[in-house]
Structure 1
Amino acid sequence: MPSGGARASIDLSSATIAVTVHRQGATVPILIDGRIVMPTGVAIGPTGQLYVGLDHAAARALPADHRYVDNPTDLLGTPTHTHDAAPPDPVELLAAVLRQTTFYAAHQIGQPITELTLTIPPHWGPRRRGHLDDAAHRAGLPAPTLVTAPAALTAYATTLGLTVPPNSCVLVCQVDRHPATLTVLQLVGDHYRELATQQITTPHDLDHLIAHRVIDAATPDDDPLRTTINHPPDAPADDRHALLESVRAARHLLVEHDRAPVLLPAPRQPAVITRDDVTTATQPFLDTAAHTVKEVLDAADVDTAHLAGVIVRPAPGIPALTERLAHATGTTPGVVDHPHALADGALALTAAHQPGPRAAAARLPRVRLRITDLAGILALGACSLILLLQPVLTADITTVDSYVVGARTSVPQIGSSGAFAMLTALVIAHLAPTTWLAGTPTGSPAEPTTGSLIRRGYLAAAVSGLITATLYGLATGTALELDYRPYLTWTLGAALPLAACTALIAVTAPRIPADALPTWLALARPAIHYALLAAAGMFLMRAALSLTIPVDLTGMPGLVGSLGAALLGAATILTITDSRVLRALAVPGVAIAYALVFTYSTKSALIVAYLAALTWWAVRLTTKTLHLAFPNAGAALHRLVNRPHS
């Protein structure tokens, strides 16, 4: 996926069209003209103009010279039997649908659609699948990835908690569109294999069956309305469509109510139906469904014991269907009726099987360097120098005959200056992929990608941080006129773990998927204010215990040192964990404990504890980076370890 693009998933297998977009690791449902789903109808004007997203009610208001197609997908792959001079082209109609839906998707998320996933009925073969490729090409979209509706529905159900063990099967029943279908899927590896699919064939769809019962109960035998339903070709289309739409609306009302009205053509009074009426009217369908379950299981060569679950995409107002399926399979069906279920499920499958581009090929939007960014870098760099200069300038130096033979100072604090130098370099590296020092990005292919900037920035941080820490150790020995090796050991010892983690991040971060880069950048942002808190704590602790240049503004050096220890303890906990609960519970207790135990003998241990916390933060960041860069490495290692030995 090119930089700045998104993956759209469009469900073409349901009674309405739903669109979902995958962008930057998030799934976004798309509103089409203010609607969560779009009707499938398309109107054709007299000069060939197309109007997408119409239902039957809107179609009745069209001028007489307009033609209406209920669902373009019904025409795909079938010859058009018409006496019209210019029969509708279903591929062009579907291209208009794709063009309209992806336009709203790109407008809502502010990014172009660069990958496309389409959900289709399970029985579609190469002819209709080829038509979808043609329609996407005409709409100016990339070649689509096709996912069958049962597989998409199963993938969505797994996100709701359905567990499908390897090689087990799932029975999927879709009743939201005529004809209803039953499909048996088997989980093989990381994909679903279709074993058998069969339609639940009945002479009429559910709305017709219910309309028959309503008319039989509410009208006399000689009412012409009976002819409207029983002989559709000879009956007024407007009356038939209006009655069927009223039945469909009543079914939706019966989901939450016991009774619902059905409007009959004037001058007749409305009829009232109940859930029992619907169950009775749809009895032929329910009986056929129960028989078809056995047939499709036999065709798949599986028993009910092989089923890990039964998933139903229900028809509103037909609760008896789940009872019949439960009785036929011995498994309570899981009902999935979310309007974006198939679009979301197909998106999950394509995201899992078609990994997107990596950071190495992406170009994130970049902004000018802000004053706050520069202030953070300068503050950390200043803290690094202060933590180095304070123990050097306040060292208790012992001399013999004007020769320095020893110096008492806070060696762990000198080591922390090396860690802070490394942390300063990390802050600069974190800004590199998203910040311009000057100028405006031109979008030229010659501009470095985000992955390249990450690699360069973090490698430079690792090298420059180590060089600075080395110079700190050498400078300390020179200033105190002593052997530099103890100080160099501490400055490098504190900086080296951070540098190693930084170098590993530089190597692996470019492999992070492009849509996960914003999440990673948020995780990788160093908490500058926590580091400043720790630096202030170490400074106050050293100031309270200094023998040569004591800093005592309160007259109570013990209080100053305890305050510094408390700040260092709080910074240690804030660095170790991101959990708000743990922070709220641990920060006060640890801060008080640090203040109570603070002495000349314990100050070094307190500083070392903070350095360990800082190292732990770097290790956690590296682990998260590896997980994003190699998401399947854990599963592969598990399979390798548990591989049976011959």
Structure 2
Amino acid sequence: MPSGGARLSIDLSSPAIAATVDRHGARIPVMLDGRLAMPRGVALDPAGNLYLGVPSANTPPPGHQFVPDPLDLLGTTDTSRPVDAVEVLATLLRHVTGQAAKQVGEPIVTLTLTIPSSWGPRRRDQLIEAASRAGISAPTMVTAPAALAAHAQAHGLTAPDGSCLLICQAGRHPVTLTVLQVNSDGYRELATRAIDPPGDLNQVLAQRIVEAATAHDDPLRVDIADQTQDGRVLLESVRQARQLLATQDRAPVLLPAPRTPTVITRDDVATATQPLLDTVHDAVRDTLDTADINPQHLAGVILRETEPIPGLHDRLTTATGLAPAVLRDQSHVLADGALALTAPHHDARTAADSHLPRVRLRVRDLTSATVLTACSLALLLQAVLTADITTVEYRIIGVRTSLPQLGTAGALAMLTAFAVAHLAPTTWLAGTPTTPTPEPATGSLIRRGYLAAAVGGAIAAALYGLATGTSVGYDYSPYLRWTLGSALPLAVCATVIAATAPRIPATDLPTWLKHTRPAVLHAAIATAGIYLMRAALTITPPVDWTGMPGLIGSTGAALLGIATAMTATRSRTIRTITAPGLAIGYAIVFTSNTSGALTVGYLIAVTWWSIRLAGHTLRLAFPAAGAALRRLTDGRSD
């Protein structure tokens, strides 16, 4: 069946590019060429081909041009830049989107980009142009501070509407402070400020290593500022050493060959960070003053460090009076936060005003309905043809047949109607209509399909009861009670679905359709089991091994037990545990007196399946009521 696609979020504001895809509510990190985060560097060969995700420490092949971060070229007017930044970004978006779609097996329908808060209309327009070149609809843009705030709130940070949050981003140079005010529809940026020490910490440490080597009459000819190959290798080694210093006191730094590695300590890092730490208190105060708030207005402080900065946490605590919530070493924090922030705004449509893709009805689409129809008729005909009719002077005075089997035939007739209704919103009876008549919304198709299923299935079940009474020439009342009585609970559930399904959010429709598809295999197994049990009780002479009513009957009972377990729950774990137990139990207890009870057990499982489906539909259609019910249940359980 066609699906609605997935939502993709790409973080363009961190030192490395990370992406998360939302597939019907499940958040999945995207593996980019086998990596959770992709380096920003690109290489351009003489033919103009781009190579993405090139680490800074790698040496490009001869003739290739390396650009450490092409996103830094966005918004510039320099015509001598080595690459077209918009084209590079388009290639990047196309590559990441393709990787995400391949990983989840669904097309990407919406794109969210996390960007620095300093990016204005010029660079945002370039992002839109890049998405257009990549064949992607215009993306939703979320600033990095807002994405961090959304992630923190989604994971337990409490911030009432009207309160403020201070966001400290220590992921890229320079460190930035941002004050956000929490609103019901997102966040309002009140002020932002960069803490600009003499240089990037990695560059400061690398420069000190170069100066130390030179002071020992062993000149190290590495140009950090111009980003030469040796300089990039040294910076990458320093960055990795800083990561190691988070858990140990000393860490090695590789130097260009043939030099031996040197060592830096936590004291070296502390010395390099001191100019930054000395400015934190004043920077916080200036940022709060610009936002026109006091520290008392802050509901929380959020600190994100991609590389540890010793002492920063304590300085923020002293300046604000609040211990920061630290988000460290989580490459997908911003991508996840952007998804959490934009989820309510991506698609507010419901089934009543949306249209699922529809295809022409094929023979294989009718497989479910055909198999269920065959199962239903097989049980009906067997119950009629094996009925034990008692006559006196050519007058029928009694008929003995399996009433639960007739009830199962009626329930399967209703399941057949469910299978047909499941096709209604996604298939045409013929090709696409050429008339100008507007296509009905998916919600309207679902309503019509399930109302027709409720009425048609109930009528078919009633006809089963009447046909049985006519065939055996006896009062049809008991047969009608079983066939119609077994189908009516399913008909009620179909009516509930028809009334509420149009309110289901459009993004939940693909998942909901998967839930509504009747399990044909389970029904076929149950039909085989009931058929064999009835055959074992009506075969003359009966098969009798080891004192049991017969191997045929025991096999049928086991099959019915398996089908009952598989129908009653969707949990694989529970199925694995209960199916063998019910199969063995049913086979042991099967007799002519218990066969009806075993069949009734399957009827209960089918009814429970329809109730669960109606309940799932209600929860999707009325999420607030479902959440309130869960809270009430949780409160009572406490």
Are 1:164 and 2:158 counterparts?
yes
Displacement after TM superposition at 1:493 (Å):
1.5
Maintained 8 Å contact 1:543/1:552? no
Residue 16 of structure 2 aligns to a residue whose secondary structure is coil
User: Residue in 2 aligned with 1:361?
Assistant: 355
- Contact 1:164/1:187, CA 8 A, preserved across alignment: no
Post-superposition CA distance 1:397-450 (Å, at most 9, x none): 4445543344343333222211112223334444666789999999x9999997
Correspondent of 1:478 among 449, 453, 470:
470
The answer to whether the 8 A contact 1:117-1:346 is kept is: yes
Q: 1:496 to 1:52 in 2, by over 3 A?
A: same
| Alpha carbons 1:175, 1:313 under 8 Å: kept | yes
For 1:164, give the aligned amino acid.
Answer: T
Is 1:415 the counterpart of 2:410? The answer is: no
Secondary structure of residue in 2 paired with 1:282? helix
- Asked whether 1:14 is paired with 2:14, we answer yes
Does the CA contact (< 8 Å) of 1:122 and 1:148 recur in 2?
yes
> Is 1:389 paired with 2:381?
yes
| Structure 2 gap segments, 5+ residues each | 633-638
* Cα pair distance change 1:44/1:107, threshold 3 Å: closer
Give the counterpart of 1:120 among 115, 118, 122.
115
Q: Is residue 211 from structure 1 mapped to residue 194 from structure 2 by the alignment?
A: no
Matched, 1:627 2:619: yes
Q: 2:174 aligns with which of 171, 179, 192?
A: 179
- In structure 2, the CA distance between the partners of 1:136 and 1:604, relative to structure 1 (3 Å rule), is closer
Aligned with residue 614 of structure 1, among 606, 617, 623: 606
Equivalent residue number for residue 644 of structure 1: none
Amino acid corresponding to residue 526 of structure 2 in structure 1: A
Relative distance call for 1:565 and 1:311 in structure 2 (3 A) is: same
Q: Is the 8 A contact 2:347 2:506 kept in 1?
A: no
Moved more, 412-421 or 516-525: 516-525
Letter in 1 for 2:626: G
Q: Which residue of the partner structure matches residue 274 of structure 1? A: 265
The alignment status of 1:148 with 2:139, answered yes or no, reads: no
SS of 1:142 mapped into structure 2: coil
For residues 499-548 of structure 1, the C-alpha deviation after alignment (integer angstroms, 9 at most, x for no partner) is 332344456556655665553344333233332343344345545666xx
Contact 2:149 2:337 in 1 (8 A): yes
- Judging changes above 3 Å, is the alpha-carbon distance between structure 1 residues 223 and 598 closer, same or farther for their aligned structure 2 residues? closer
Distance of 1:164 and 1:343 partners within structure 2: 20
Aligned equivalent of 1:502: 494
Q: 1:62 to 1:93 in 2, by over 3 A?
A: farther
Offset at residue 616 of structure 1 (A): 0.8
Aligned ranges 1:186-585 → 2 under 5 Å: 186-189=181-184, 191-215=186-210, 217-220=212-215, 244-255=235-246, 258-262=249-253, 270-293=261-284, 295-296=286-287, 299=291, 301=293, 303=295, 307-308=299-300, 310-325=301-316, 329-331=321-323, 333-355=325-347, 360-363=354-357, 369-370=363-364, 374=367, 377-399=369-391, 402-430=394-422, 458-506=450-498, 509=501, 516-543=508-535, 552-554=542-544, 558-559=549-550, 564-565=556-557, 567-585=559-577
Q: How many angstroms apart in 2 are the aligned matches of 1:272 and 1:170? A: 39
Partner of 2:91: 100
In 2: Cα distance, 1:276 partner to 1:26 partner: 43
For 2:107 and 2:519, locate their aligned partners in 1 and report how far apart those are by CA, in whole Å: 34
- Equivalent pair of 1:24/1:517 in contact (CA under 8 Å): no
Q: Is the 8 A contact 1:3 1:514 kept in 2?
A: no
Cα separation, partners in 2 of 1:88 and 1:534, compared to 1, 3 Å: same
Give the residue type in structure 2 aligned to 1:118. Answer: L
The answer (yes or no) to whether the contact 1:10–1:343 under 8 Å persists in 2 is yes
Give the aligned partner of residue 643 of structure 1.
Answer: none
Contact conserved, 1:174 with 1:181, CA < 8 A, in 2?
Answer: yes
Contact 1:102 1:113 in 2 (8 A): no
Distance 1:7 1:339 in 2: 18
What is the root-mean-square deviation of aligned Cα atoms in Å? 4.8
Instruction: Classify the secondary structure of the residue corresponding to 1:162.
Output: coil
Partner AA of 2:201 in structure 1: L
C-alpha contact 1:368 1:438 (8 A) present in aligned 2 = no
Assess, with a 3 A threshold, how the Cα gap between structure 1 residues 39 and 583 changes in structure 2: closer, same or farther: closer
C-alpha distance 487-264 of structure 1, shift in aligned 2 (>3 A): closer
Structure 2 counterpart SS, 1:496: helix
Q: Displacement, 1:101?
A: 1.5
Superposed displacement of residue 475, structure 1: 0.6
Offset from partner CA, 1:83-136 (integer Å, 9 cap, x none):
xxx4559xx944223311222134332576553322122344555545544554
- Residue 147 of structure 1 deviates from its aligned partner by 0.7
Which one-letter code corresponds to 1:413 in the other structure?
Q
Secondary structure of the residue aligned to 1:117 is strand
Q: Do 2:89 and 2:127's aligned partners in 1 also have CA atoms closer than 8 Å? A: no
Local SS of the residue matching 1:404: strand
Greater CA deviation, 105-114 or 283-292?
105-114
Shift of 1:178: 1.3
Answer yes or no: is the 8 Å Cα contact 1:176–1:315 preserved in 2. yes
Q: Which amino acid aligns with 2:293?
A: D
Relative distance call for 1:26 and 1:635 in structure 2 (3 A) is closer
Q: Distance in 2 between matches of 1:398 and 1:61?
A: 94
Segment of structure 1 superposing worse, 197-206 or 352-361: 352-361
Matched residue of 1:361: which SS?
coil
**Residues 425 and 481 of structure 1: is their aligned pair in 2 closer, same or farther, counting only changes over 3 Å?**
same
Q: Distance in 1 between matches of 2:389 and 2:227?
A: 108
How far apart are residue 12 of structure 1 and its match? 2.2
1:610-630 CA-partner distances (Å, limit 9, x unpaired):
222211101112222343455
**Letter of the structure 2 residue corresponding to residue 271 of structure 1:** T
Task: Report the more deviating stretch, 485-494 or 390-399.
Answer: 390-399
- Matches of 1:34 and 1:567 in 2, distance apart? 44
SS in 1 for 2:215: coil
Shift in CA distance, 190/566, structure 1 to aligned 2, threshold 3 Å: farther
Q: What CA distance in whole angstroms lies between the structure 2 residues aligned with 1:104 and 1:237?
A: 28
Counterpart residue identity of residue 410, structure 2:
G
The answer to whether the Cα contact below 8 Å between 2:177 and 2:193 also exists between their aligned partners in 1 is yes
Amino acid at match of 2:340: A
The whole-number CA distance in structure 1 between the counterparts of 2:621 and 2:541 is 49
Deviations 1:621-644 (A, max 9, x none): 22223434554553588999xxxx
Percent identity over the alignment is 55
Q: Helix, strand or coil: the match of 2:194?
A: strand
2:114 partner SS: strand
Point out the more displaced range, 145-154 or 429-438. Answer: 429-438
Letter paired with 1:465: G
For structure 1, the 5+ residue unaligned runs are: 641-646
* Counterpart residue identity of residue 263, structure 2: V
Matches of 2:399 and 2:60 in 1, distance apart?
96
Deviations 1:191-248 (A, max 9, x none): 344454332232322123323543454432999879967xx6xx89777666545533
Number of residues of Structure 1 aligned to a counterpart in Structure 2: 620
